[in-house]
Amino acid sequence: MKKMLTAAGLLVFLLGGLAAAQKTLVPILSLQVDDTEKGKKVTYGYLLGGIQNGRFLTAKTAAARLKGDRNFSLVDLGTPLKGAFSFGALQKGGEFCEDAYYYMPEIDAVGTVAIGAGAGWTLTPRSVKTASLTDNGSKKAVADALKLKGLAKSPVEIKQAFEADLDGDGADETVLIAHHLAPDADERPAGGSYSLVMVRKKTGAKTANILVGGSFPRKTDDYFDGEYKLAGIVDLNGDGKMELVVEVWGYEENWVQVYRLTAGKPSVIKELTYYCGV
Using pLDDT thresholds of 50, 70 and 90, give the confidence band for residue 16.
Answer: very low
Using pLDDT thresholds of 50, 70 and 90, give the confidence band for residue 191.
Answer: confident
237, 230 Cβ separation under 8 angstroms: no
**Mean pLDDT value of segment 43-66:** 95
214, 197 Cβ separation under 8 angstroms: yes
Give the integer Cα–Cα distance in Å for 103 and 106. Answer: 9
Give the integer Cα–Cα distance in Å for 277 and 207. Answer: 38
pLDDT in the model for residue 22:
56
The single-letter code of the amino acid at 89 is: A
**Domain boundaries along the sequence of the chain:** 21-116, 128-277
CA 46 to chain centre: 13
pLDDT in the model for residue 185:
56
Question: Between these two residues, 45 and 69, which has the higher pLDDT value?
Answer: 45
DSSP 263: T
CA-angle at 26, arms to 23 and 27, nearest 5°: 150
**Mean pLDDT value of segment 201-222:** 90
Task: Kindly report the average pLDDT of the chain as a whole number.
Answer: 88
pLDDT in the model for residue 8:
44
- The per-residue pLDDT for range 70-81, each reduced to its tens digit, is 899 999 999 999
CA distances (Å), origin 23, targets 16, 20, 53, 118, 202: 11, 5, 5, 10, 36
Using pLDDT thresholds of 50, 70 and 90, give the confidence band for residue 39.
Answer: confident
DSSP SS3 for 244 = strand
Does the pLDDT value for residue 3 go beyond 70?
Answer: no
DSSP string, 76-140: EBTEEPSS-EE----EE--SSSTT-EEE---BS---SEEEETT--S-S-SS-EEE--SS-HHHHH
Q: What is the CA radius of gyration of the chain?
A: 20
Does the pLDDT value for residue 30 go beyond 60?
Answer: yes
DSSP string, 175-226: EEEEEE--TT-SSSPPTT-EEEEEEEEEETTEEEEEEEEEE---STTS----
Using pLDDT thresholds of 50, 70 and 90, give the confidence band for residue 2.
Answer: very low
pLDDT in the model for residue 4:
43
- The per-residue pLDDT for range 265-276, each reduced to its tens digit, is 999 999 999 998
Does the pLDDT value for residue 129 go beyond 60?
Answer: yes
pTM score of the predicted model: 0.88
- The per-residue pLDDT for range 87-116, each reduced to its tens digit, is 999 999 877 788 899 999 878 888 999 999
218, 150 Cβ separation under 8 angstroms: yes
